[in-house]
């Protein structure tokens, strides 16, 4: 797994099979919840990344 980017709230990793993993830093649970909500809300439009799985 290779770290490809980092922001204020999260780090982005690329796995060997091409899957992207976003790991939220520290106790940023509210940002995680908002992003999960909006990705699910917009998922039917075809331009939003699909959530494969998540851990809380």
pLDDT of 9 reads 86
Read off the pLDDT band of 5 (50, 70, 90).
very high
- Burial of 13: CB neighbours in 10 Å, binned 0-12, 13-18, 19+: middle
H or E element: which one contains 12? strand 10-14
What does each C-alpha distance from 52 to 8, 36 come to in angstroms? 23, 11
Average pLDDT rounded to a whole number, residues 28-54:
83
Q: Is the per-residue pLDDT at 52 higher than 90?
A: no
Q: Is the per-residue pLDDT at 22 higher than 80?
A: yes
pTM over 0.85: no
Average pLDDT rounded to a whole number, residues 26-52:
84
Closest CA to 31 of 11, 14, 17: 11
Average pLDDT rounded to a whole number, residues 10-36:
87
Cβ–Cβ under 8 Å, residues 15 and 26:
no
């Amino acid at each position: 797994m290779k770290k490809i980017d980092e922001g204020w709230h999260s780090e982005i990793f690329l796995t060997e099979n091409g899957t992207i993993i976003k790991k939220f830093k520290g106790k940023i649970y509210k940002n995680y919840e908002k992003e999960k909500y909006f990705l699910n809300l917009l998922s039917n439009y075809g331009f939003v990344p699909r959530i494969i799985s998540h851990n809380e």
